Amino acid sequence: MAAAPKNDPAAVEAEIREKIHLEILKRTGAYHSNDHVLLPSGHHTSEYIEKTLVTTEPSFTEGLGAVIAKHFAPWPLDVVLSTGPGALILSHCVARAHPSRPIVVYGTKGHAGGQRRVTLPAEFQRLIREGTRVLIVEDLLSSGVTVDLLIDLVEQLGAQVVGVGCLWRRISVDMHGKPVFSLVSRDFPTYAPSDCPLCKKGIPLNEEFVRRRNLRRPAAARASKSA
């Protein structure tokens, strides 16, 4: 978060709110800090978010979804568009708490011709059309690629992206002027193993998240990746 003047009450309040949200994510076991974590990229970091644990506590998820809904309450919405099945529980909670009572749909991620792409399942396609007002909801906004592709998709259908709501946003992500609201805005440094200060201190490397991810991926995907 950018440094704000100490006496700015709005900035202080935002900072406190962010701390509370971080605490909530810690309670679910999703947020790890003061650790030495191996990332899927092979880099190391001291903080990590385990996305699959973010929405395991219904009352927390409802509370977090309500905060996002409240932020976007002044804008009428027709559709909450989840970036994928993974952000669907949060999307449901946002839609449930928004005064417009929007419907909820999700995109699906895939690859075509070596490029990442997102599509809408056929059943949802008639639900986003000219004039539809869409809020995109993501759990962890990391590279922003998926959200970018979804914005393009929505706009190609003649619909309008009202904004993007997410639990966590890496500060470096630029969403081309679209209003992004995140409960936590935070970047953490990642290091190549050769210049990782945590390695230099001899702190044991936590490989459990990468191991778990590999277990979840189908064997065929693992084989083609390592080929």
What single letter denotes the amino acid at residue 24?
A: I
Nearer to Zn ion, 113 or 204 (CB): 204
DSSP state at residue 86: G
Between 49 and 80, whose beta carbon lies closer to Zn ion?
A: 49
Distance CA 150, CA 79 (A): 13
- Told to check if 44 binds Zn ion by CB under 5 A, we report yes
The least CB distance from residue 208 to Zn ion, in Å, is 15
We find the least distance from the C-beta atom of residue 197 to Zn ion, in angstroms, to be 8
Contact 170, 141 (CB under 8 A): yes
Nearer to Zn ion, 21 or 44 (CB): 44
Site size with Zn ion, rule: CB under 5 A: 4
Query: Closest distance between Zn ion and the C-beta of residue 5, in Å?
Result: 36
Q: Does 167 bind Zn ion (CB under 5 A)?
A: no
- Closest residue to bound Zn ion by CB: 196
Q: Which of residues 175-204 bind Zn ion (CB under 5 A)?
A: 196, 198-199
Where does this chain touch Zn ion (CB under 5 A) — which range of 22-30, 37-45, 102-110, 212-220?
Answer: 37-45
Site map for Zn ion, 104-143, x if CB under 5 A?
A: ----------------------------------------
Kindly state the DSSP code that residue 47 receives in the 8-state scheme. Answer: -
Structure tokens at 222: 């693992």
Instruction: Tell me whether residue 39 or residue 157 sits nearer to Zn ion (CB atom).
Output: 39
3-state secondary structure of 125: helix
Q: Would you tell me which residues interact with Zn ion (CB under 5 A)?
A: 44, 196, 198-199
